[in-house]
């Protein structure tokens, strides 16, 4: 008998005995508690500071800016464009919260293409322990906005930061299941070729995060 058959036979037996649901729940809860006891200690008194330190580390390679509110995002985008000598036209994630902002002299209507220089988006949340951004795909958050452009500028609500990956798992359990979930930690990079770090291998080579309150 294969291991697969053994597993399904055990499941069928447990269901036949009528004790499966309670047993599974009890064992899952015990496993969860045991896992929590093994987690490393983490100072969560300043999630923004912790996230910023992680994501701006040299090997992660992102840059971070702090603004007062989401309405300050267009000014932050303008500063980033000027600092990196980019054109004022860029692709904007089709999120109503971004589309209703006042973009003044900037042009956020550029189509998203494989050669897009800059895309501006909004993260669902962030994980402070690892410096990761959370993206759930959907009509207002197409996945390719985080993978096609050379520069990805992401707005992140400070209130959406979570201490650890386990906190995100608990948070996500209460949301509709998306078709695609991406946890993005820093700019794209690889050392596959002779151990030399190359940026932009699998996605944006430049990641700039604008944290707002």
Instruction: Give the start-to-end residue ranges of the domains of the chain.
Output: 3-38, 47-212
Residues 6+ apart with CB under 8 A from 188: 199, 200, 201, 202, 203, 204, 205
pLDDT score recorded for residue 10: 79
Cβ proximity of 135 and 173 under 8 Å = no
Give the separation between CA 38 and CA 205, rounded to whole angstroms.
35
pLDDT score recorded for residue 201: 67
Give the separation between CA 65 and CA 156, rounded to whole angstroms.
10
Question: 4-13, 17-26, 183-192, 199-208 — which is least confidently predicted?
Answer: 17-26
- Average pLDDT of the chain? 90
Digit-coded pLDDT (tens) for 1-41: 588 888 888 777 766 555 566 777 787 788 877 777 777 78
pLDDT grade for 198, boundaries at 50, 70 and 90: low
pLDDT score recorded for residue 1: 59
Give the DSSP per-residue string, 118-175.
EEEEE-SEEETTTTEEEEE-BTTB-GGGGTS-SEEEEEEEGGGEESSHHHHHHHHTTS
State the average pLDDT over residues 117-141: 97
pLDDT score recorded for residue 144: 96
Query: Global pTM?
Result: 0.81
Digit-coded pLDDT (tens) for 143-167: 999 999 999 999 999 999 999 999 9
State the average pLDDT over residues 128-139: 97
State the average pLDDT over residues 69-98: 98
State the average pLDDT over residues 89-112: 96
Radius of gyration of the chain (CA): 21
Query: Has residue 56 got a pLDDT over 90?
Result: yes
| Domain at 47-212, CATH class | alpha beta
């Amino acid at each position: 008998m294969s291991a697969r058959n053994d597993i399904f036979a055990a499941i069928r037996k447990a269901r036949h005995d009528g004790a499966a649901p309670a047993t599974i729940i009890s064992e899952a809860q015990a496993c969860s508690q045991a896992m929590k006891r093994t987690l490393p200690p983490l100072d969560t008194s300043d999630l923004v500071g912790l996230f910023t330190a992680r994501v701006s580390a040299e090997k992660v390679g992102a840059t971070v800016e702090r603004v007062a509110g989401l309405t300050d995002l267009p000014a932050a985008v303008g500063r980033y464009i000027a600092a990196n000598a980019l054109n004022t036209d860029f692709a904007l994630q089709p999120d109503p919260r971004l589309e209703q902002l006042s973009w003044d002299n900037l042009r956020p209507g550029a189509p998203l293409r494989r050669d897009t220089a800059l895309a501006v988006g909004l993260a669902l949340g962030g994980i402070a322990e690892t410096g990761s951004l959370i993206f759930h795909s959907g009509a207002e958050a197409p996945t390719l906005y985080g993978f096609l452009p050379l520069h990805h500028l992401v707005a992140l609500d400070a209130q959406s930061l979570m201490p650890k990956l386990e906190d995100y798992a608990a948070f996500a359990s209460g949301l509709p299941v998306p078709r695609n979930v991406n946890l993005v930690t820093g700019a794209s990079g690889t050392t596959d070729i002779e151990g030399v770090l190359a940026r932009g291998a699998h996605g944006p080579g430049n990641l700039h995060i604008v944290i707002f309150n």
